[in-house]
Every structure is written in C-alpha cells, then in structure tokens.
C-alpha cells in the first residue's frame, strides 16, 4: 500500500496522531508524520529542517532506514522556541 501524502491527511487524522504523541512516553519513536502533527508543521518543513540543519531537532536513522524522532526532543524544541516578544527573534 502506498504511503499517504501529507496533503491528503485529514485534520482528524492529524489530531489523532497528535493525541497519540501526547499520550505516550518521551522515549516513544515517532515517524516524521507523527512529529509533524505534534509540532503543527508539515512533513516538508521537518524535511527542510533536517536538510538545512535549521532549528536543530535531533532525529535518528536506525540502520539507515526510516527517520525517527523522540517526543522528548520535540518537547525540547518547543520549549526552546518560546519567546516573550518579537525583539527576541534576532
């Protein structure tokens, strides 16, 4: 069966993926799709971040197969991206 394109994933499916991440321990391996739904970004954004080293979310590629994220790393990313005002972006 072919993998579903991110643009074809419904909002309900994304919400279910996000709930899965929220309800599981920090060391649960997550696909880019689950990570994207948790962060409210597209899988293309995650791919760009991996390729350009932008924002620095750690990912793993066990045995050079599929890409894996961990919830603890996604939570760290969300925490580190918090700003008090727009002047802090610089």
> Could you read off the pLDDT of 19-64 as tens digits, one per residue?
999 999 999 999 999 999 999 999 999 999 888 876 678 999 988 8
- Residue 55 CA to residue 68 CA, distance in Å, equals 17
CATH class entry, domain 11-81: mainly alpha
Residue 2 DSSP code: P
Q: Kindly report the pTM of this predicted structure.
A: 0.81
Please answer whether residues 47 and 27 qualify as being in contact, where contact means their C-beta atoms are separated by less than 8 angstroms.
no
- Residue 6 CA to residue 10 CA, distance in Å, equals 9
63, 62, 65, 35: which is closest to 49 by C-alpha? 35
């Amino acid at each position: 069966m072919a993998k579903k394109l991110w643009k074809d994933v419904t909002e309900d499916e994304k919400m279910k993926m996000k709930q899965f991440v929220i309800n599981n321990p920090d060391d649960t391996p997550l696909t880019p799709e689950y990570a994207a739904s948790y962060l409210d970004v597209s899988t293309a954004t995650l791919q760009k971040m991996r390729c350009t080293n932008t924002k620095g979310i750690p990912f793993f590629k066990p045995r050079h197969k599929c890409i894996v994220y961990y919830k603890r790393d996604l939570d760290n990313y969300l925490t580190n991206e918090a700003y008090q005002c727009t002047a802090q972006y610089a």
